[in-house]
Amino acid sequence: MAEDKRIQVTVILRHDQSKTLGEIMAHAKETGFYRDFPPEGSELVSWVVAMSYGFIIHLSVAPDGLRNLNRFMEQKAWGAFRYEVYPSYDFEPIAEKLKHDHA
């Protein structure tokens, strides 16, 4: 599928703070979260830790892979993480243009 047919998605994962890290890791191992991420139809672009916040993950997703991403999160992330998913785009080229235009 051509790159212009894909969408960028930002996934925010916050640890379930009612659980210990050991419980979270056990749940993720049991469900295969780390083993199977990213799900089919998604490509990992970046994955960072924001300390005291959680994971911020950027994925490139085929439009028909969006449902698969949602099902993956429901089946493998719930119980270890609270999550949010946002359509997003790369703002860096726009910021560079604004920097130049506002100089």
Checking if the pLDDT of 4 tops 90, the result is no
What's the average model confidence in pLDDT over 20-39?
95
The rounded mean pLDDT for the chain is 92
Checking if the pLDDT of 1 tops 70, the result is no
Cα–Cα distance measured from residue 29 to residue 31, given in angstroms and rounded to the nearest whole number? 6
Domain range summary for the chain, segments of one domain joined by +: 3-101
What is the model's pTM? 0.83
Contact indicator for 15, 54 with CB cutoff of 8 Å? yes
Going by CATH, does the domain composed of 3-101 fall within 3.60.10.10? no
Residue with tokens 């946002």: 86
What's the average model confidence in pLDDT over 38-59?
94
Cα–Cα distance measured from residue 42 to residue 44, given in angstroms and rounded to the nearest whole number? 7
